[in-house]
Amino acid sequence: MTLRSEATKGHLNPANMTIWFTYILECADGSYYVGITNDLDLRLAEHNSGQGARWTAQRRPVRLCYAEGHRDKSAARKREIVIKKWRREKRETLFSSPQNLVGNSCVRRAS
């Protein structure tokens, strides 16, 4: 099952509506990248192939830590802007939040 089909099972996707996602990637160097897309699987593949953003191309591989769905591109972009202003610790709180469509694969475990 793709991330898109997982997200469209919920309340956001009436019949033909395109879902936009705000997402957070963790890069190989531990940094985070925040972006938007209407196809999470394709965008993640682009980032990992070096054809995504310049930031992630230099910090591969990346893994998807967080994604939330939005009704339109504008809403996803507004949320991206908000999250980009947050400190690292606040971004990390999203990883285990109920609205995270990818589970909590990036939650840091205590050593």
Domain boundaries, given as residue ranges, for the chain:
3-95
Mean per-residue pLDDT, 82-99: 95
Residue 108: its pLDDT value, please? 55
Query: Does 19 score more than 60 pLDDT?
Result: yes
CATH dotted code for 3-95: 3.40.1440
- Chain Cα centroid distance, residue 17: 19
For the whole model, what pTM was predicted? 0.84
Residue 104: its pLDDT value, please? 72
Mean per-residue pLDDT, 13-28: 86
Whole-number Å distance between alpha carbons of 56 and 62: 7
Mean per-residue pLDDT, 75-80: 98
Query: Does 8 score more than 70 pLDDT?
Result: no
Query: Does 25 score more than 90 pLDDT?
Result: yes
How many residues are there in the chain? 111
Mean per-residue pLDDT, 72-92: 97
